[in-house]
């Protein structure tokens, strides 16, 4: 039984070795770079920035209010009763700020995922197109080291320009 397993391993190793020795063409694509630099990704980022700008402005207003109230408390010119009232107001303002910030971040992440999911399919099509035109056998998306000659990222970015 052990001899049979060894024979099978030797056969598999020789098959893999012959595949590697064949003219296997490999390419590399930096998907994170594509999702940052591709024209559709840049447009989506600008669209999201514009969409969320009013909420960010509102968040900044609340932050300014909180800082002003904190400065008022730090001066020490308030009576004890006024101070307690202002501290409660500051606490509520701080809670509102944190809630608003959390909601904005959650909504932004959800919208970003929506935008990127549509882009991801276009990226996959562009990667396949480059792989076919370059007659590549494999496209790697993640690697510890890559030879710059194997990097197909620029070709994929060119395919995604205003499509």
What is the per-residue pLDDT across 3-39, written as a single tens digit (0 to 9) for each? Answer: 766 666 677 666 566 655 557 788 889 988 988 888 8
13 inside domain: no
| Burial zone of 45 (CB within 10 Å; 0-12 exposed, 13-18 middle, 19+ buried) | middle
CB atoms within 10 A of CB 127: 23
Q: Is 43 a residue whose pLDDT tops 60?
A: yes
What is the per-residue pLDDT across 65-84, written as a single tens digit (0 to 9) for each? Answer: 999 988 888 887 878 888 89
Work out how many domains the chain is built from and give that number.
1
61 inside domain: yes
44 inside domain: yes
78 inside domain: yes
8 inside domain: no
| Residue 98 belongs to domain spanning | 22-159
How far apart are alpha carbons 94 and 90 in whole angstroms?
A: 6
pTM of the model: 0.66
Position with higher pLDDT, 142 vs 135 = 135
Residue 137 tokens read as: 């056998």
What is the per-residue pLDDT across 82-119, written as a single tens digit (0 to 9) for each? Answer: 889 989 999 999 999 999 999 999 999 999 999 888 88
Helix, strand or coil for residue 138?
strand
Asked if residue 131 lies in contact with residue 6, where contact means CB atoms within 8 angstroms, the answer is no
3 inside domain: no
CB atoms within 10 A of CB 74: 8
42 inside domain: yes
Residue 119 belongs to domain with CATH number? 3.30.910.20
Mean pLDDT of 133-137: 88
125 inside domain: yes
């Amino acid at each position: 039984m052990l001899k049979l397993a060894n024979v099978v391993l030797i056969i598999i190793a020789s098959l893999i070795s012959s595949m590697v020795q064949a003219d296997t063409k490999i390419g590399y694509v930096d998907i994170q770079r594509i999702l940052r630099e591709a024209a559709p990704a840049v447009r989506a980022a600008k669209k999201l920035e514009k969409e969320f700008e009013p909420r960010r402005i509102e968040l900044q207003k609340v932050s300014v209010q909180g800082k002003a109230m904190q400065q008022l408390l730090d001066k020490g010119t308030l009576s004890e009763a006024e101070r307690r009232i202002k501290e409660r107001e500051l606490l509520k303002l701080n809670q509102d700020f944190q809630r608003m910030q959390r909601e904005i971040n959650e909504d932004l992440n959800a919208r970003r995922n929506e935008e990127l999911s549509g882009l991801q399919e276009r990226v996959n099509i562009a990667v396949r197109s480059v792989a076919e035109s370059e007659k590549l056998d494999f496209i790697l998306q993640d690697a510890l080291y890559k030879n710059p000659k194997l990097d197909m990222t620029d070709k994929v970015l060119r395919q995604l320009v205003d499509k």
